[in-house]
Structure 1
Amino acid sequence: MLRSLNLNLSGGIHIQMMERQSGIFIGERNVAIGWSSHGKENSVIGNISGQSNLLLNNISILNDPDLVDTPIDDRDINISFENPGDENTTTNINLEGINVNRIEQNSSIFLGKAHVNGMDANQKTNTSQGAVLGHNNQQLSNLNLNNDQDLVDTFIDDRDIKVANVEREI
């Protein structure tokens, strides 16, 4: 069996922001089975990034009086089979560098052979304004309200059967 990975990364990996359930996989054999990520987030303003941002005289109010808040049922069944591989592969990857500004939720970057199964992310997010990105943004005298009057909020029923067939070397 001939199986080889030649990875030449001369510059490096630079990441500015990664969200939940994200990843960077580098190698000859990347196996990720049964990923799960669940949650609820309330944010009135959200993330602020960049340079010279000005927020002045803001009033932020968050009111979330749920009787039951984010019940999660995540009874996954993860099954992985490893089968003998018969591939003769040679992989050459030459990169000067990897630059990532932002990886959103449930996203990945793969270099090399990857077997990914079962990635799931469930989330409820309330944002009155959202993210502020960039340079020289200004916000003056804003009023941000978030009112979430649910009796049962964000019921997540994520019962999956996840089956992966992964080849392996003999």
Structure 2
Amino acid sequence: MMPKGISTWLPLQLQIDSVQSSSAVNIGGQNIVYGLSAHSKSNTGFGDLGSHSVVAYNRTLLHDADAIDTPIDDRDVHVLAEHHAAPVETHVAFQGMNISSMQQNAGVFVGDSRITGWDQHQKTNKATGDVYGDHNEEACNVNINFDTDVIDALIHDDDVKTGLFSRMG
């Protein structure tokens, strides 16, 4: 049930094909995102391809011999202060929405949005990167990714995240 004073018309058609890490699609009268964190490390020997693509006679080598792989220290301090406000009437109206691809830390927000404390850290090794589009052809490639770190992708994220949000009613 919607809070008093808020009326929202959601889309008739919503199509989302691909959403990567720490991404969001928020649709509504009031969207609150508070303290969203995502941390990742990936090794990909072969990346993504578009539809109807051809890959032939490829050699891919990804060597990642780390002593310490992706130590993550995420000690965030979240401080939320709420402010009570009079209800606000929000109207959202459209026929449809098509989101083909959202990469990391991307967002689509429709309506009254309040966002704080959103972070994303990523380390990626790809011997072959992403190939977008249709009818791509790759042939006879040699791809080598040699990543021998002692400490790989040290992520140290200790920050203070504050936000002031209005609460309806």
Query: Where do 5+ consecutive residues of structure 2 fail to align?
Result: none
1:65 Cα deviation (Å)? Answer: 0.7
What are the equivalent positions in structure 2 for 1:28-43 lying under 5 Å apart?
28-43=29-44
Q: Indicate the larger mover: 125-134 or 96-105.
A: 125-134
Match of 1:16 in 2: 17
AA matched with 1:120: D
Identical residues among aligned pairs (%): 31
CA contact (8 A) 1:5 1:112 kept: no
Alignment-derived partner of residue 27 in structure 2: 26
Amino acid at match of 1:6: T
Residue 92 of structure 1, CA deviation: 2.0
CA distance in 2, matches of 1:80, 1:160: 14
Q: Partners of 1:6 and 1:35 in 2: how far apart?
A: 25
1:128 Cα offset (Å) = 2.7
Match runs of 1:149-160 below 5 Å: 149-160=148-159
- In the other structure, the counterpart of 1:72 is 72
- Looking at secondary structure, tell me which structure has more strand per residue: 1
- 1:164 is aligned to 2:163: yes
User: What is the alpha-carbon distance in structure 1 between the residues aligned to residue 9 and residue 43 of structure 2?
Assistant: 41
Offset at 1:5?
A: 2.9
RMSD (Å) for aligned C-alpha atoms: 1.4
Q: Aligned letter for 1:149?
A: T
Return the alpha-carbon distance in structure 1 between the equivalents of residues 129 and 65 of structure 2. 21
**In structure 2, do the counterparts of structure 1 residues 26 and 8 end up closer, same or farther at CA, with 3 Å as the change threshold?**
closer
Which residue is equivalent to 1:137? Answer: 136
Q: The residue matched to 1:4 in structure 2 has which SS?
A: coil
Any unmatched runs of 5+ in structure 1?
Answer: none
Alignment match, 2:113: 114
- Superposed CA offset, 1:126-151 (max 9, x none): 22321111111111111111100111
2-structure distance, mates of 1:75, 1:36: 11
What displacement does 1:8 show? 4.3
* 2-structure distance, mates of 1:168, 1:89: 10
2:101 paired residue number: 102
State the Cα distance separating 1:7 from its structure 2 match: 1.5
- Offset of 1:44 from its aligned partner? 2.6
Q: How many positions carry a matched residue from both structures?
A: 166
Alignment pair present for 1:49 and 2:50? yes
CA-to-aligned-CA distance 1:12-44 (integer Å, 9 cap, x gap): 111111111011111122111111100111113
